[in-house]
């Protein structure tokens, strides 16, 4: 049985379909790029003419690394739609990439070459063959394992897939940073065995594809969410990456140009990053505050009339009731019912009926004070918590009567008419707002019955409503 807490947790913001479509397009582009890079490098190793035609430096990506990357790209591409055949191809390809990585790592550690030396590469390239770097082997192992279990939605496997993906993201960032800032220990196992820029690009792009596959149901699902959290997460992610690399790059440039010493550059970059993040936090906080106000207004305001809905009225009305009792200020609770709304809807359509309700809300809002609490609590029912005594109320209802007559004189297809019941909020009365509202509702109903029978109303009842009932 699902507990209330679990049910609430499952009501998180669903993935935004537009974001998912963009992620899918980006994944396809990334897979094509990986296949192009790895396929070209592999062709260069196997076909001498190709190796001579492509840009210099391609051989820094070993043939086994290119083969594993190509297998992973083909497998993930085949598994785009989640069909059984695609899943099988993906698992076989991922297993092949894992096997190649294991064989190369064993070769690097023991000197035993399970692939039979370098005789299978094109002529003249045997001397360029090196074992796969440790960094490349670990990355391909993680990529292969992640490709196999990335689509998993079961809780246990999902946690493993998320952990593997996090490791891949960290490795990709380390590899990219190592090449950008020429930090050789991060990307080189030795002076001759290192992870090439082509391999870094393939690892980063394949990681991006796997992140996209995990996005709808993984730990990072918030990044594709359609709500406030998803929007903020996407913005902050981009800002964090761009700001971090930009500030460090500027600091490194100042050190290289000898404009600053290492301690001075460290202090400057730290201050710059801290200041930038402070600005980002403030801007995002302002953005979140605006969204929160909009959300609060949406949840408390009636969309049709622009006044408070039932929830909004009770929230503010209960506070106003407590304040009035605490200060001894007189207040009145009024319950209005618009007459003839059903007949207007049946005769002229719901658009005209909606305009009738908007006119009624406008009349009430314009007649009473700004600090009075006005709400629509039903289809044709309005409630008002007005400050003042019965004399003030009588004067306000007379103004409402005159304003209603003026609107009715404009030739609308309907005449605005209403019944009203009023209850005073005496300091000594401790009834709840809901109880007082029920009393006002009952008085409104009595008022409506008297009007239908053609009998005079008790103040401040109907007699103050303009025109005869609409039916």
Domain that holds residue 283: 227-300
128 pLDDT band, cuts 50/70/90, is low
Crossing angle for the helix pair 228-256 and 155-180, to the nearest 10 degrees:
30
257 and 127 both lie in a single domain:
no
pLDDT for 353 beyond 70: yes
Structurally, the chain folds into a number of domains equal to: 3
- Residue 18's pLDDT is 86
435 and 357 both lie in a single domain:
yes
Residue 280 lies in a domain: yes
Higher pLDDT pick, 317 / 269: 317
Q: Are 194 and 139 in contact (CB under 8 A)?
A: no
Identify the CA nearest to 198 among candidates 26, 52, 34: 34
159 and 28 both lie in a single domain:
yes
Q: Is the dihedral of CA 19, 22, 27, 28 positive or negative?
A: positive
Q: Where does a domain end: 274, 300, 326?
A: 300
- Residue 7's pLDDT is 34
- Mean pLDDT throughout 180-197? 74
124 pLDDT band, cuts 50/70/90, is low
Residue 60 lies in a domain: yes
Higher pLDDT pick, 364 / 284: 364
233 and 96 both lie in a single domain:
no
* pLDDT, tens digit (0-9, with 9 covering 90-100), for 425-460: 877 777 888 999 999 999 999 988 888 777 555 544
**Lowest model confidence (mean pLDDT) among 16-30, 213-227, 251-265, 394-408:** 213-227
pLDDT for 3 beyond 50: no
pLDDT for 13 beyond 80: no
* pLDDT, tens digit (0-9, with 9 covering 90-100), for 317-334: 998 888 888 888 889 999
For 331, phi then psi, to 5°, come to -150, 160
Residue 5 lies in a domain: no
- Mean pLDDT throughout 128-135? 76
Which parts of 111-196 fold into alpha helices (H)?
134-149, 155-180, 184-187
Contacts of 35 (CB under 8 A, 6+ apart): 70, 73, 74, 77
Q: Where does a domain end: 300, 327, 345?
A: 300
228 pLDDT band, cuts 50/70/90, is low
pLDDT for 1 beyond 60: no
* pLDDT, tens digit (0-9, with 9 covering 90-100), for 376-427: 998 899 999 999 888 999 999 999 999 999 999 988 899 999 999 999 987 7
- Mean pLDDT throughout 236-242? 82
8 pLDDT band, cuts 50/70/90, is very low
Q: What percent of the chain has pLDDT over 90?
A: 36
- Residue 77's pLDDT is 93
Residue 461 lies in a domain: no
- Mean pLDDT throughout 159-173? 89
Residue 460 lies in a domain: no
244 and 120 both lie in a single domain:
no
Which helix (DSSP H) or strand (DSSP E) does residue 110 occupy?
helix 84-110
231 and 202 both lie in a single domain:
no
Residue 4 lies in a domain: no
123 pLDDT band, cuts 50/70/90, is low
- Residue 50's pLDDT is 83
423 and 329 both lie in a single domain:
yes
Could you tell me how many residues make up the chain? 471
250 and 321 both lie in a single domain:
no
Which helix (DSSP H) or strand (DSSP E) does residue 362 occupy?
helix 350-367
Q: Is the dihedral of CA 46, 48, 49, 50 positive or negative?
A: positive
- Residue 236's pLDDT is 80
Q: Where does a domain end: 220, 244, 269?
A: 220
Identify the CA nearest to 420 among candidates 465, 377, 389: 465
CATH of the domain at 340: 3.30.70.270
| Per-chain mean pLDDT for the chain | 82
pTM above 0.75, yes or no: no
- Residue 365's pLDDT is 93
pLDDT for 161 beyond 80: yes
- Mean pLDDT throughout 252-264? 81
60 and 183 both lie in a single domain:
yes
Nearest-angstrom CA–CA distance, 15 and 151 = 16
Residue 366 lies in a domain: yes
100 and 22 both lie in a single domain:
yes
180 and 327 both lie in a single domain:
no
Nearest-angstrom CA–CA distance, 174 and 22 = 26
- Residue 187's pLDDT is 74
- Mean pLDDT throughout 231-258? 81
Nearest-angstrom CA–CA distance, 107 and 130 = 10
30 and 115 both lie in a single domain:
yes
470 pLDDT band, cuts 50/70/90, is very low
**Lowest model confidence (mean pLDDT) among 33-42, 51-60, 288-297:** 288-297
């Amino acid at each position: 049985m699902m507990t209330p807490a679990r049910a609430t947790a499952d009501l998180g913001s669903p993935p935004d379909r537009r974001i998912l479509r963009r992620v899918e397009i980006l994944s396809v582009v990334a897979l094509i790029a990986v296949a192009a890079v790895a396929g070209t490098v592999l062709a260069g190793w196997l076909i001498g003419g190709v190796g001579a035609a492509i840009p210099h430096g391609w051989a820094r990506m070993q043939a086994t690394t290119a083969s594993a990357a190509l297998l992973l790209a083909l497998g993930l591409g085949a598994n785009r739609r989640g069909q059984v055949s695609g899943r099988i191809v993906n698992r076989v390809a991922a297993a092949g990439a894992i096997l190649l990585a294991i064989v190369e790592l064993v070769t690097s550690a023991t000197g035993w070459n399970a692939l039979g030396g370098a005789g299978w590469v094109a002529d003249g390239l045997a001397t360029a063959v090196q074992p796969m770097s440790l960094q490349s082997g670990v990355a391909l192992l993680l990529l292969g394992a992640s490709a196999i279990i990335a689509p998993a939605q079961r809780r246990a496997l999902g946690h493993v897939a998320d952990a593997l993906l996090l490791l891949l993201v960290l490795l990709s960032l380390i590899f990219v940073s190592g090449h950008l800032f020429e930090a050789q220990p991060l990307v080189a196992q030795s002076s001759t065995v290192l992870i090439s820029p082509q391999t870094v690009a393939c690892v980063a792009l394949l990681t991006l594809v796997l992140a996209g596959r995990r996005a709808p149901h993984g730990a990072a699902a918030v990044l594709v969410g359609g709500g406030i959290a998803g929007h903020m997460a996407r913005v902050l992610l981009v800002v964090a990456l761009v700001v971090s690399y930009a500030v460090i790059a500027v600091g490194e440039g100042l050190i290289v140009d000898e404009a600053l010493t290492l301690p001075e550059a460290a202090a400057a970059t730290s201050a710059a990053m801290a200041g930038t993040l402070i600005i980002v936090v403030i801007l995002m906080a302002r953005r979140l505050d605006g969204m929160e106000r909009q959300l609060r207004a949406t949840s408390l305001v009636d969309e049709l009339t622009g006044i408070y809905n039932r929830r909004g009225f009770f929230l503010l009305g209960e506070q106003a009731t407590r304040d009035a009792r605490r200060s001894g200020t007189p207040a009145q609770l009024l319950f209005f019912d618009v007459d003839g709304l059903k007949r207007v809807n049946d005769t002229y359509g719901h658009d005209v009926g909606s305009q009738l309700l908007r006119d009624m809300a406008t009349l009430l809002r314009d007649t009473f004070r700004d600090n009075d609490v006005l709400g629509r609590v039903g289809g044709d029912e309005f409630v008002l918590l007005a400050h003042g005594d019965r004399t003030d109320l009588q004067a306000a209802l007379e103004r409402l009567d005159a304003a209603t007559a003026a609107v009715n004189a404009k030739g609308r297809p309907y005449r605005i008419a209403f019944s009203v019941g009023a209850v005073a909020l005496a300091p000594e009365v401790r009834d709840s707002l809901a109880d007082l509202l029920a009393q006002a509702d009952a008085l409104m109903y009595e008022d409506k019955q008297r009007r239908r029978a053609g009998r005079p109303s008790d103040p401040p009842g109907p007699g103050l409503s303009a025109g005869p009932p609409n039916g």
